[in-house]
Structure 1
């Protein structure tokens, strides 16, 4: 039975989805999308937002058929106990792998730019101890922290306004559409992967207070915000750096802030990165929570599961990760995300309609 003590409001849901999506991928997003879409990268971001909106509608149509059931119960209701449990394990594996990848990428950035002499294991350990500490608490406390952490997004937006005084060249994005539809679509695929995190809705839905109305509007507003936020940053980077420069800069957003220098403040990029550790950590917290909820909904076992999953992610992050291994790891996680985020929810919706599945144990 889901009580109000562990439930969240739609206001909190808005920020939970935002914090789950915006994280470490923000820094390299302009570079990744620009590889194919070039000056039309901002169009790719908008297109990715439209695709996410379609997926959110699919999620909503599925979940509102089972408003009081957790996603682990929904899968077993539609597919049966055996297949449902296998599917739940696939989701669990995906969340663990994604959480591990985020941890690895975050450690790499922190070590490269902030703490070059600190061992990888020490950075990873501090990140995961913090994540476990917050994740073992109930969802309402996690949501409150995410709302507070979201203020740092406003800080980033405010800081980027100062970059408008730096040289800009609108010609870098002209003529609009010159990259071609194919390259824009390829760019949208890369942008879509940077927006992952919205799949958390599948496990959050039954915890939302009064989830029978207003949820679609809330998740749509969250998607619009994230899409607009990403589009703005990508656009600023596109008109700040030439195409050749964009190809060479791995974290254009941080490099953009590096251009800011004042008499009393220098290295704005490093100052911001130190602050942005909090929003980056929220993504790890989100996937640690989802991994634990995908295999345990009991209060007592949930806490133990969080600790075990945190240790598992820590151990995976200790594996030596060269750039080549990290790229390969990211590639496999990407393939897995296609099934978990895009294909499986759509198939579950279709099957629930065909077999007229609704609330647990009901058929119509």
Structure 2
């Protein structure tokens, strides 16, 4: 019987996946996507959401064959103990690197827009202290916090609604499809990196206490929400800035809100970022959790593992990280994500079918 402090509902799973995916990547998404997709960047985001949905469907078929096992236990079940542990170490390194990259980007945002005079290592220490404190908690507590943090999404959306009162030009996205299908697909590849976090399903699935038949619908709804959320922000920036302007902006969404001012409300961009820090932080918490689960540590050693992982991420943030270094780091994480998030689960599903390995359950 699964302990109550290590179980979640499908309702909580919906918000966990949302918070795991929403992160700092959204702020710079229009800048990276427009380089190839131009005014069709919002279509690229929809294509990326479709690709994520395909992967979630593959995850579902893999997980329902092993309903009581997390991802790194499935690898050992299919590949054997030795190869499984070796692959799990690779997966662990990937999650640590993604957590480090997410933290570095978060520090850059805070340093650039909110606290320009504060040393980056202090910001890193404050962020990771909060993340470690929450990651050490039981899964149910983490889930409740993610559900609570999701309420801020509505506030973020209301904040961006103020931009609709500023000058905009829909001709920037016309004619539709002018960039060509190839460029839109290239743009969707850039969008996928910003949508990472859905792989958390591979670790959360065994902890769902309800009948798992409705999980596919839940994760599909979460992906639909994220896809529409990202597409909305992408569309919003595309109708306010030309592609040339977007190419010169590091965080176009923040730049869009920076120009909004009222008699009562000024510097809407700072209000937006102050709220956005929470979703950016939850993604770091999620990756600390994934990294610990990759090691298959028991409950007694779990807090120590979180502390060690948090220390490793902190040390990563201390590495000199100018724009060239961050771009190189981002490039390697980008390629690793295709292996861990896409290729490996597909191969595991194929092998489980060929070797007829499964652990079926009547509740799936």
- TM-score bracket relative to the smaller structure: over 0.9
1:227 maps to 227
Distance 1:94 1:14 in 2: 24
Match of 1:338, SS state, is helix
For 2:144, the equivalent position in structure 1 comes to 144
The alpha-carbon deviation at position 212 of structure 1 amounts to 2.5
How many pairs align? 360
Match of 2:243 in 1: 243
Kept in 1, the 8 Å contact 2:72–2:296? The answer is no
1:336 aligns to 2:339 (yes or no): no
**Equivalent residues in 2 for 1:64-75 (5 A)?**
64-75=64-75
TM-score normalised by the chain length of structure 1: 0.97
Report if aligned partners of 1:107, 1:124 keep a CA contact under 8 Å in 2. yes
User: Distance between the aligned counterparts of 2:293 and 2:118, measured in 1?
Assistant: 33
The worse-fitting range, judged by mean Cα deviation, of 255-264 and 335-344 is 255-264
TM-score, normalization by structure 2: 0.97
Q: Which residue of 1 aligns with 2:87?
A: 87
Which residue does 1:96 correspond to in 2?
A: 96
Equivalent residues of 1:26, 1:194 under 8 A apart = yes
> Does the 8 Å contact 1:296/1:305 carry over to 2?
no
Instruction: Tell me the SS of whatever aligns to 1:214.
Output: helix
Q: Distance in 1 between matches of 2:69 and 2:175?
A: 50
Deviation at 1:149, TM superposition (A): 0.6
5 Å matches for 1:263-278?
A: 263-278=263-278
Moved over 3 A (4+): none
Cα distance change on mapping 1:211 and 1:119 into 2, 3 Å: farther
Tell me the residue number matched to 2:182: 182
Cα-to-partner distance string for 1:297-348 (whole Å, 9 max, x where unaligned): 4111111100000011001111111110111011111111110000000000
Check if 1:119 corresponds to 2:113: no
Q: Is the 8 A contact 2:48 2:189 kept in 1?
A: yes
Residue of structure 1 equivalent to 2:8: 8
* Whole-angstrom CA distance in 2 between matches of 1:225 and 1:204: 19
The alignment yields a C-alpha RMSD, in angstroms, of 1.0
Instruction: Please tell me whether residue 43 in structure 1 is matched to residue 43 in structure 2.
Output: yes
What residue number does 1:347 align with? Answer: 347
User: Is 1:54 the counterpart of 2:59 in the alignment?
Assistant: no
CA distance in 2, matches of 1:215, 1:76: 24
Structure 1 residues not aligned, in runs of 5+: none
Aligned residue for 2:359? 359
Find the residue that maps to 2:212 and give its secondary structure.
Answer: coil
CA deviation after TM superposition for structure 1 residue 211, in Å: 4.7
> Residue by residue, what CA displacement relative to the aligned partner does 1:131-151 show, whole Å, maximum 9, x if unpaired?
000000111100100011111
Match of 2:327 in 1: 327
